[in-house]
């Protein structure tokens, strides 16, 4: 059963029709047509309650029983109207109960989704914090590598300039002798220093590069997780909006 008009208005109309039955100027045919139209308006034409009213007989071709038929018809009409009013009251009570149950369900679902959204946002913030810390670590390592490379090159340039400054103003003989000794010392020192430095630097650079690769890999994983979390956030927001819209529609229908 579905009401086409509000409950209170429907009951008011049926009560009015019922009261008319007891009036002294009661006209059965006019009353039947009016009541049939009211029932179609309240329940719809496909409900067919109006056919019950249409089937009530208020008159008889036999005069000796016409009075009893008239009274029986009025009694039958009142019972029909009472049953319709009772059905409307019970139906609306059930409908209100279902609406309240749906509202409670939607409210709980809304709370659950909001709670889940808070958890996801919290997790996203933590992942963003971890990602920023890792990014800071990568930047710090890159700065260290840059400084190491720059300082190594700068040190070689300063050493050559100093050597050139020392021998610039010496006599040719002393210069040749000094250069011979210096080149011997420098050659041996350079070979020894280069060997030690290369071994040490390559090991340090390899370790740094390995750490950078690991940090890049972790950063990529965090980027992927962040994208998934953002997608999940959007899905949860859409679900909350749908629930809010359903709740608004339910309250409107109620």
In the three-class reduction of DSSP (H, G, I as helix; E, B as strand; rest coil), residue 117 is classed as helix
148-155's contacts with Cβ under 8 Å and 24+ in sequence apart are: 148/201, 148/204, 148/205, 152/201
Averages of pLDDT over runs of 10 residues in the chain (254 residues) are 88 95 92 95 90 90 83 94 93 74 76 83 84 84 78 49 56 65 66 63 66 76 76 79 71 58
Model pTM score: 0.41
Which helix (H) or strand (E) covers residue 91, if one does? helix 63-167
d(CA 78, CA 112): 51
- pLDDT for position 79: 96
d(CA 254, CA 247): 10
- pLDDT for position 154: 45
DSSP for 150-206? Answer: HHHHHHHHHHHHHHHHHHTTS-HHHHHHHHHHHHHHHHHHHHHHHHHHHHHHHHHHH
d(CA 167, CA 241): 83
Please say whether the beta carbons of 138 and 219 come within 8 A: yes
- pLDDT for position 53: 93
- pLDDT for position 145: 80
- pLDDT for position 156: 47
Positive or negative: CA dihedral 46, 49, 53, 56: positive
- pLDDT for position 117: 83
């Amino acid at each position: 059963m579905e009401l086409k008009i509000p409950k209170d208005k429907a009951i008011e109309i049926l009560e009015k029709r019922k009261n008319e039955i007891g009036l002294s100027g009661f006209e059965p045919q006019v009353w039947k047509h009016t009541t049939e139209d009211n029932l179609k308006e309240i329940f719809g034409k496909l409900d067919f309650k109006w056919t019950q009213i249409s089937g009530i007989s208020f008159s008889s071709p036999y005069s000796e029983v016409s009075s009893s038929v008239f009274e029986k018809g009025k009694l039958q009409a009142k019972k029909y109207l009472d049953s319709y009013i009772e059905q409307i009251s019970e139906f609306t009570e059930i409908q209100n109960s279902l609406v309240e149950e749906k509202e409670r369900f939607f409210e709980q679902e809304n709370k659950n989704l909001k709670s889940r959204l808070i958890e996801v946002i919290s997790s996203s913030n933590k992942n963003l914090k971890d990602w920023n810390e890792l990014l800071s670590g990568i930047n710090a390592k890159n700065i260290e590598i840059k400084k190491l490379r720059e300082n190594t090159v700068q040190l070689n340039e300063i050493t050559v300039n100093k050597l050139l400054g020392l021998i610039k103003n010496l006599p040719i003989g002393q210069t040749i002798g000094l250069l011979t000794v210096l080149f011997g010392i420098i050659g041996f020192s350079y070979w020894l220093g280069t060997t030690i430095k290369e071994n040490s630097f390559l090991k340090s650079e390899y370790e740094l590069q390995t750490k950078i690769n690991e940090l890049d890999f972790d950063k990529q994983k965090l980027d992927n997780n962040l994208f998934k979390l953002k997608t999940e956030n959007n899905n949860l927001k859409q679900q909350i909006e749908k629930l809010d819209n359903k709740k608004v529609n339910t309250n409107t229908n109620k």
